[in-house]
Structure 1
């Protein structure tokens, strides 16, 4: 049986006599779910090289190690597809996702996904990892995507997301004149009862908070930067439509006033997807415990859109 590089904690004098369970949960930040899994592994938890029960006490200078078994995504077909890697280390893979590709295989769609490309990349590189995206991006949204290489890394970043500590920033081109340099949309979101695949602002929905800042106002549209506090499905698209500024190219969340405008139709014809790009992702790196940020440049289709909007605004 093979393992990933262990997590190591050398017990300092102030932790003398502390339960091993407390060390694992409060110092190494191992979740209860992962802890239960580790206890079933032959060499999952050791102190000074020996397997120990988690209710024993540790002494100053003890070397606590946590090992996780190596895994692979045997249910995902490796495919040699383009993969724009922004960063990779033993803990994480950060890629810039193109619009039009989905993240993970779904029923009836088993190939041509980010997962297929990543599994191929790892096998070619001799890396044994299970595909674990930390978050999702809509099929037609481009931008930064983080993929964890171990259950521990996935857990660490997921908990940061639950605590709203992960910085997720987007760029969006929206219709109309945006009032004010910045604002916050605090409106609950849930499914449209008549169209379950569509979301809408509803008083009885789930809390959703989006912060926005006007970056550039054009003649027909605007470029806004957005930061999410919550991660509801289609949150930015729903919130911006609710504000009266749906995203350019968004066929699901639009408004009649924009559908009827010839100028709007001409510009929207430049796009095959909604004009939304996840350009920045920041969090505390589970390996280094330092704050990191990753950015994906504006893709070619949105850069061309921006150039047209600038030309039309002269």
Structure 2
């Protein structure tokens, strides 16, 4: 299906793919949409068929024009603040941003304005798009790389579910202290809070389930470190950092978890984000270039990824 935005409306023309389906079936079964927003669209008469209010139980016909009110102006939810950001992908529904080091993903206290979410709000405001800023996942303050944002609540709820169902693949590059001899492995250890430190996490039998897969891409005997690729089945706070430290290979620069070099941040980068677009069904694959100056990672890191 092909879509285009017309003011507050998302418009499409019914093709063979949707011929005979009802609006209710499309929202619930095809898009697996959120019940709350589907109910809201029905109550607010937010769907038109050929310019008239939709009859939700009536089968659609080839050539019918569907309009769905997805793009109403909203408060950003954060203070728009100019910070230069690198947009990796954007359409009417979502955007992927390459987060630099030193930025929180979103405000952690009222009035905070120096986060990636504030920068996204400013960017959208500059384009005349007044949307609530919705982050689908987050990165630690000093972790860099791809972060996914939704531009409206309907797609935000769909993306949240996709993340839970592991339909959004996040691939990380990490430099760890030590030479990992095992070429690949899985760390399946629950993670909980550290009672002795306000922000630290630890492997704990009473923690939440956490699974990290890793693969060694290259070892550097002279500097006693390894370049690895990681993927997550779960998204716990500090997951990669905690898991790698727990097996004796903390991230280079990760002072919180026991690594002692003078690097100013942990060497962790969200290098790739891949998913199927919930509306267009197209494969979206974003590669986030390194932003560090001077460089932290080897220049051939992306070429070594599996």
**TM-score normalised by structure 2 residue count:** 0.85
Match of 2:184 in 1: 182
Match of 1:252 in 2: 256
Match of 2:287 in 1: 295
Report the aligned-residue RMSD. Answer: 2.5
8 Å contact 1:85–1:94 — kept in the other structure?
A: yes
Match of 2:269 in 1: 277
CA distance in 1, matches of 2:250, 2:182: 17
CA distance in 1, matches of 2:200, 2:110: 20
Match of 1:118 in 2: 120
Match of 1:103 in 2: 105
8 Å contact 1:11–1:59 — kept in the other structure?
A: no
User: Which of these residues, 16, 37, 48, is aligned with residue 40 of structure 2?
Assistant: 37
> Structure 2, unaligned stretches of length 5 or more?
1-5, 300-306
For the pair shown, which has the larger CA radius of gyration, 1 or 2?
1
Moved more, 196-205 or 180-189: 196-205
Match of 1:261 in 2: none
Q: How has the CA–CA distance of structure 1 residues 5 and 59 changed in structure 2, closer, same or farther, with 3 Å as cutoff?
A: closer
Output one character per residue of 1:170-229: Cα deviation in whole Å (capped at 9) or x when no partner: 011111121211111111112223435322112232211111010111121111110111
User: Which of these residues, 46, 49, 62, is aligned with residue 48 of structure 2?
Assistant: 46
SS where residue 9 of structure 2 aligns?
coil
Deviation at 1:95, TM superposition (A): 1.4
Q: How has the CA–CA distance of structure 1 residues 158 and 137 changed in structure 2, closer, same or farther, with 3 Å as cutoff?
A: same
8 Å contact 1:157–1:283 — kept in the other structure?
A: no
Q: How has the CA–CA distance of structure 1 residues 159 and 305 changed in structure 2, closer, same or farther, with 3 Å as cutoff?
A: closer
Q: How has the CA–CA distance of structure 1 residues 14 and 189 changed in structure 2, closer, same or farther, with 3 Å as cutoff?
A: same
Deviation at 1:303, TM superposition (A): 2.5
Q: How has the CA–CA distance of structure 1 residues 23 and 89 changed in structure 2, closer, same or farther, with 3 Å as cutoff?
A: closer
Between Structure 1 and Structure 2, which shows a larger proportion of helix residues?
Answer: 1
CA distance in 1, matches of 2:30, 2:107: 36
Aligned pairs, number: 291
> Structure 1, unaligned stretches of length 5 or more?
259-264, 308-314
User: Which of these residues, 207, 210, 226, is aligned with residue 209 of structure 2?
Assistant: 207
Q: How does 1:119-138 map to 2 (within 5 A)?
A: 119-138=121-140
**TM-score normalised by structure 1 residue count:** 0.83
Deviation at 1:238, TM superposition (A): 0.8
Q: How has the CA–CA distance of structure 1 residues 281 and 41 changed in structure 2, closer, same or farther, with 3 Å as cutoff?
A: same
